[in-house]
Structure 1
Amino acid sequence: MDVLVAGSSGFVGSRLCPELERAGHTVRAMTRRPHSYHGAGQPIRGDVHDRDSLRKAMDGCQAAYYLVHSLDDPKFEQRDADAARTFGEVAAEAGLERIVYLGGLGAEGDDLSPHLRSRRAVERLLGVGGVPVTTLRAGVIIGHGGISWEVTRQLVEHLPAMVTPKWVHVRTQPIALDDVVRYLVGVLDEPETTGRTFEIGGPYALTFADMLRRVADLEGRPLILVPVPLLSPWLSSLWLSLVTDVDARTGRSLIGSMVNETVVHDDSIRELLPFEPLDYDEAVLRALRDRVKARHAA
């Protein structure tokens, strides 16, 4: 199958493209800078805000992956909505059979953060042209280069003791990057996933405090967490920008999402794609090993 990957050079897309090729698909790696792309697949110029470039990129494809977000933009909700609508409409014009999208967990009845609210809007808008959309909703993805994972790792490695706001006691269901990619590849070859929404996660839920403690234990580092009743998302984001390399705007968007519980309530995807996801500790160890490999390769 000829498949377009929008977001091919990103955290998930760069791991997805080679796995799609291994599964026998022909990959078009969409990027705004094809001459500087060195990953798997055939690089092709495309911009989710440019209809003409999307038409050329999608021509002849049967399916497309949409892995694009703009958290670092102050108007990310509107930009992501506009891009998703454009992508969905051009996909219909190009005759695509399906779109696969990686979204975010979070209960429908919750007061979702702007970040998660935007993810849900993108789900809907990708389908405006009538192309079936398969959505995989995930919480924190554990893998080298992922923003949420990097925040966790850097906090543990930079601070042996830290004051912690209320959001560190909210539960999420972290999932290994390898398993996210495995699901993304798997749904493409499973007709029953077409047009459906699935929740994906690791084998169990953890609070963010649990995740910090597990990383500290695995790295053999001391860690003391001191809870405080008042630490606003704005102050938390400034704190993150001081002790990690995540900028304050992106940190604020991420922290806003951490107030929402992001756990799996429906694991029906495991009936269609049955495998045992990696547990949190193994996911962390793989992320740490990948970081060492990347540093040696640099």
Structure 2
Amino acid sequence: MSTVLVTGATGFVGSRLIPELVAAGHSVRAMTRRPEEYGGPGEPVGGDVHDPDSLGPALAGADVAIYLVHSLGDDDFEAKDAAAARAFGAAAAEAGVRQIVYLGGLGADGQELSAHLRSRREVEQLLGEAGVPVTVLRAAIVVGHGGISWELTRQLVKNLPAMVVPRWVGTRTQPIAVDDVVGYLVGVVDNERALGRVLEIGGPDRLTYLSMLQIAAEEMTGRKVPIVQVPVLTPRLSSYWLALVTDVDVTTGRNLIDSMGTEVLVTDDSVRSVVPREPLTYREAVRRALAERESDSS
């Protein structure tokens, strides 16, 4: 088995991933800016992707590095994420890491992408610039308790008896349960068939954002929510609207909304031959997210 460094160890995906990597027999190093506060499985190590000097010690001895960080809540997130990816890739090469695994974003090559999705593509390239093979898993919305995109959906349904929504709710996407994302991440670690490849991952459902809101409403309230679409509601106005009715900040909301006008669907299912699994439906992912929230609050 391998020694695996996980960045973003305390985050939405990282905190779920580390126990599964340990269960699979890997030796896990959990990279965090405050290792003294880390209470999860694995060995805590100090490191910050925005501090290049901290990366060498964190990566020393690692066979595989999993990169799960981004600066979406920062106004200058593209520049910050580019600098961090370049530094991390260089440090990984220097440390002799043999694979970097990155969770990126779906969107067809050649498609006009939002700043958020363009940044994800740039990070893919920069992580491998120094020569370490990169495995990219591209996903759309990840559904699970505590995830930003799911929290937007849950809080909108919870806080609004009816909604006036922009036209981007008609855009199709392919949501995926966080449990499936974790399963795919574990499956590509030190997997020779995944080295240097871009693999698209998604659940079985292709849904509009409107459909996703309605399914969430049905699971949360047992009924549909009245929704009226309006033709003009800019990303900036949408982000202020989200900030009023959810606890997601304006900058993060705007960066997410910018991507919601782009259809993001799986176009290549070759991941099935690399990591065979049957992903959960969106409805089941919603049920699990709600159950986990209820369990956490009890």
TM range (shorter): over 0.9
Aligned to 1:145: 146
Write the mapping of 1:190-201 to structure 2, written as runs, cut at 5 A. 190-201=191-202
Q: How does 1:262-277 map to 2 (within 5 A)?
A: 262-277=264-279
1:109 CA displacement: 1.8
Partner of 1:182: 183
> Contact 2:64–2:190 (CA<8 Å) still a contact in 1?
no
Q: Distance in 2 between matches of 1:116 and 1:295?
A: 33
* Structure 1 gap segments, 5+ residues each: none
SS of equivalent to 1:40: coil
The aligned runs of 1:150-229 (5 Å cut-off) are 150-219=151-220, 220-229=222-231
What per-residue deviation string (whole Å, max 9, x for no partner) do you get for residues 137-196 of structure 1?
000000000000000011011112111111100001000000000000001142110110
Equivalent positions of 1:86-101 (< 5 A) are 86-101=87-102
Give me the CA root mean square deviation: 0.8
| Cα drift, residue 221 of structure 1 | 4.1
Deviation at 1:107, TM superposition (A): 1.2
The answer on whether the counterparts of 1:160 and 1:222 sit within 8 Å (CA) in structure 2 is: no
Paired with 2:223 and 2:43, the residues of 1 have a C-alpha distance of: 43
Give the residue type in structure 2 aligned to 1:115.
H
Number of the residue aligned with 1:26? 27
Deviates more, 1:157-166 or 1:238-247: 157-166
How high is the TM-score relative to the length of structure 1? 0.98
Residue in structure 2 matched with residue 241 of structure 1 by the alignment: 243
Counterpart of 1:81?
82
Which ranges of structure 2 fall in alignment gaps of 5 or more residues?
A: none
Separation in structure 1 between the aligned mates of residue 142 and residue 213 of structure 2, nearest angstrom: 14
Percent identical pairs in the alignment equals 62
Aligned letter for 1:68? V
Q: Is the 8 A contact 2:89 2:132 kept in 1?
A: yes
| Deviates most, 84-93 or 188-197 | 188-197
In structure 1, distance between residues paired with 2:71 and 2:223: 34
Displacement over 4 Å in runs of 4+: none
Give me the whole-angstrom Cα distance separating, in 1, the residues matched to 2:184 and 2:131. Answer: 23
Counterpart code for 1:284? V
Report the residue type matching 2:161 in the other structure. P
TM-score by length of 2: 0.98
Total equivalences in the alignment: 296
Amino acid at match of 1:140: I
Q: Is the 8 A contact 1:157 1:221 kept in 2?
A: no
- Counting only pairs closer than 5 Å after superposition, residues 50-65 of structure 1 correspond to structure 2 as 50-65=51-66
Q: d(CA) in 2 for partners of 1:222 and 1:107? A: 32
